[in-house]
Structure 1
Amino acid sequence: MQEAGRTIAQAADEDALFHALINTAIDGIVVINEQGIVQVFSPACERLFGYAPEEVLDCNINMLMPEPYRSQHDAYLARYLETQIPHIIGIGREVVGQRRDGTTFPMYLSVGEGMLKGSRIFVGIINDMSETRARDNRIRELQGELLHVTRMTLMGEMASALAHELNQPLTALLNYTGAARHMTGHLGEPAAKLAEVLDRIAEQAERAGLIIRRLRNFIEKRESIRAPEDINKAVEEAVELGLAGMRGGDIKRRLGLEPGLPALLIDKVQIQQILVNLIRNAVEATSGLPRGAVTITTHKNGDAVEIAVADTGTGIPAEVESRLFHPFVTTKAHGMGMGLSICRKIAEAHGGRLWLAANSEEGATFILRLPVPAPEPAP
């Protein structure tokens, strides 16, 4: 009698231990019989799948699987019972689970086989892989972004070398033009038109040289240098640089620069980087469209100066607007999506803002707001 009592007590202790393990396990635990009917559904499984125990117990385990696995599971189980050839039992692998709301998630499933009260059971231990997969996906995204940045760095180095190489033949062109102009000086009236053409060649060569010098300053790696700058002059230079090499001959360019604006304490090259990016985007957006126009304006608004770049182009798709300033988001077929993200960071580093404003008509308007430096206190 005492022996029987000890056996009952031992069984009760083992049952309590079993339930304690099931109820406290971090990973989900589910137990099924040979027919695939759920016998145990742990609290962790409740959290993973969103089902209450009474909704799952005595039901087929395939309710936790998406198609086509749901329809195939009974056949898999029957084949194992017949052949004893395991495909997952004792091995474990990554599979897909389906929650009560129909959403799916990746999980690692380890399945073991045992006997309980003379009947065969299968114990599944489920580890949610959602965070691991999200982390892996983010790593892949970062690797892709790193490749983009690497290519952009290489492009900058190539552009700097190209600007240096082009500057030499342009200098030679200016010298040869000056010599030709001098040689035509004694030819009298017949050479007047030739002299005019040579003057135009020299003028365009000087302009090309200026653009190249600005380009080299623009892409040169250097520390940020802030100084009081005439913002209207900086805008005019940015327009010239931004339109260089662009195919926008039919696009109207409008400048509306408010006179008498206060000097701004800025890194001119960085601010011009923002403006060049906005201007080139605007030209590309309006290229090939009838009545295309790009308008650049400046005006003082409170304690800041606002520069607006507006176009009559195709506009920004609604689904892109909320992510427009995120890295690697672009509306261009071959764009890299870094420009606006970097531009916003530059603006914020200057204590300013860059945003997409609502457009009353077609196209898009970007506004760059830069603070006016506070006046120095009188001595």
Structure 2
Amino acid sequence: MQDVLEHMPTALCVVDPSGHVEFANARARQLLERPLDHVEIGAVLAPLAILNDPGSTSLDVALPSGRTATFGYAVRAIGTADAPRHIVTFQDITQLRALRDERDRLLKLAAVGSTLPTILHGLKNPLAAITVAVEVMSEELTDPEVREQLLAVLAEIRRMRLVLEGVTAIGQSVHGYGRHAIDKTVREAVAILGVRAESCGVHLRSAIEPIEPLPFVPAVISAIVFNLTVNALQACRSGDTIRIHARSDDGEFELAVSDTGQGMPADVYQRCTELFFTTKRTGSGIGLALCRQLAERAGGTLEIVSVPGFGTAITVRLPHQAPAA
């Protein structure tokens, strides 16, 4: 029987009341990367057997190789009341959990993409009407003080519209019908964001090269500029600098946003494009995830370089032509 247990495809261990592992089959030793007599096997498995928490079925384990694995496990008591023992069976579910997390991320993105645009569309229509009304009033009124106040209101309305475009781009496509002056689109977004940067004490510098009309949706490009710049602003302190560079070359549009802010530690860098992941109290965790989705769906790329203490540089590259369906 022991020979059968030894060669089972499922990892199996027998733990005595003191936490000593009496038996660990070959699969268990392989997964744990430890021999049977290694004291850490007991340290890993004994808590599972002793606590037998019905609400927990998985455990993250740091392995000698440096890898952290997720084990799904089950515990069953055997023996007598005077000499209880526990059988622990487990398997490596690290890849399964990664697939589950990716599924959950896509479901969240789909939920946001299906509901948020509808809600925000109801805000954009009255906002457009207000914009027209304020523009007409600012042109007709002659009082310079009132006109200046109306222009300030108009600037805030345009900023709100840019914010809405930054969110409603979820589920949209970069490529559209007709060609548009994308360099003008980027300049307008930068001008609006410059006011916000100035209020934070951050220097916003831009180098927007002349770009031929491209078959892009202007609102989606505005959304990318907005989200990347806001992400940079949130990482900056007063006195820091953000640089925005846009150009077109070899059939590809390139937008680069770099900052001299705090940079990202390794754990944040690994997850920064996950939907709803944020380390900021007021962050939504949508911006970088949205930019990555837009770039990849357009057949492009989003590249991130970040050095803690020195800043972050994000580059989005989009092909002029949409990928074949």
Same fold (TM over 0.5): yes
Q: Over residues 191-228 of structure 1, what are the superposed CA-to-partner deviations in whole Å (9 max), with x where a residue is unaligned?
A: xxxx3334434544555555556666662788632432
> Where does structure 2 lack aligned partners over 5 or more consecutive residues?
none
Residues in 2 aligned to 1:210 and 1:94: alpha-carbon distance in whole angstroms: 51
Q: Which has the higher contact order (CA 8 A, sep 6+)?
A: 2
- Aligned-pair CA distance for 1:66: 1.7
Higher strand share: 2
Residues in 1 aligned to 2:318 and 2:18: alpha-carbon distance in whole angstroms: 71
Preserved contact between residue 65 and residue 97 of structure 1 (Cα < 8 Å): no
- What residue number does 1:186 align with? none
- Aligned-pair CA distance for 1:366: 2.1
- What residue number does 2:244 align with? 296
Whether 1:107 aligns to 2:84 is: no
Residue correspondences, number? 310
1:356 counterpart (292, 304, 310): 304
- What residue number does 2:229 align with? 279
Residues in 1 aligned to 2:265 and 2:17: alpha-carbon distance in whole angstroms: 55
- What residue number does 2:43 align with? 66
Aligned pairs (5 A) from 1:86-97: none
Preserved contact between residue 162 and residue 189 of structure 2 (Cα < 8 Å): no
DSSP 3-state at the match of 1:65: helix
1:321 counterpart (269, 288, 291): 269
2:202 counterpart (248, 251, 263): 251
Residues in 1 aligned to 2:58 and 2:169: alpha-carbon distance in whole angstroms: 51
Q: Over residues 328-364 of structure 1, what are the superposed CA-to-partner deviations in whole Å (9 max), with x where a residue is unaligned?
A: 44343332323212212212333332223478x9433
Residues in 2 aligned to 1:352 and 1:299: alpha-carbon distance in whole angstroms: 15
- Aligned-pair CA distance for 1:232: 1.0
Q: Over residues 45-68 of structure 1, what are the superposed CA-to-partner deviations in whole Å (9 max), with x where a residue is unaligned?
A: 544555667x59xxxxx9842289
**Matched residue type, 1:354:** L
Select between 322-331 and 250-259 the one with higher mean Cα deviation: 322-331
Residues in 2 aligned to 1:32 and 1:368: alpha-carbon distance in whole angstroms: 54
- Aligned-pair CA distance for 1:324: 3.1
| CA RMSD, 1 decimal | 5.1
DSSP 3-state at the match of 2:199: coil
**Matched residue type, 1:334:** T
DSSP 3-state at the match of 2:299: coil
Aligned pairs (5 A) from 1:204-283: 204-207=152-155, 210=158, 219=168, 224=173, 225-243=176-194, 248=199, 250-259=201-210, 261-283=211-233
The verdict on how the C-alpha distance between 1:222 and 1:139 changes in structure 2, with shifts beyond 3 A counting, is closer
> Where does structure 1 lack aligned partners over 5 or more consecutive residues?
1-17, 57-61, 77-86, 115-119, 182-194, 375-379
Residues in 2 aligned to 1:50 and 1:366: alpha-carbon distance in whole angstroms: 39
**Matched residue type, 1:267:** V
Preserved contact between residue 254 and residue 295 of structure 1 (Cα < 8 Å): yes
Among all aligned residue pairs of Structure 1 and Structure 2, give the percentage whose two residues are the same amino acid: 20
Preserved contact between residue 243 and residue 280 of structure 1 (Cα < 8 Å): no
- Aligned-pair CA distance for 1:126: 3.3
DSSP 3-state at the match of 2:221: helix
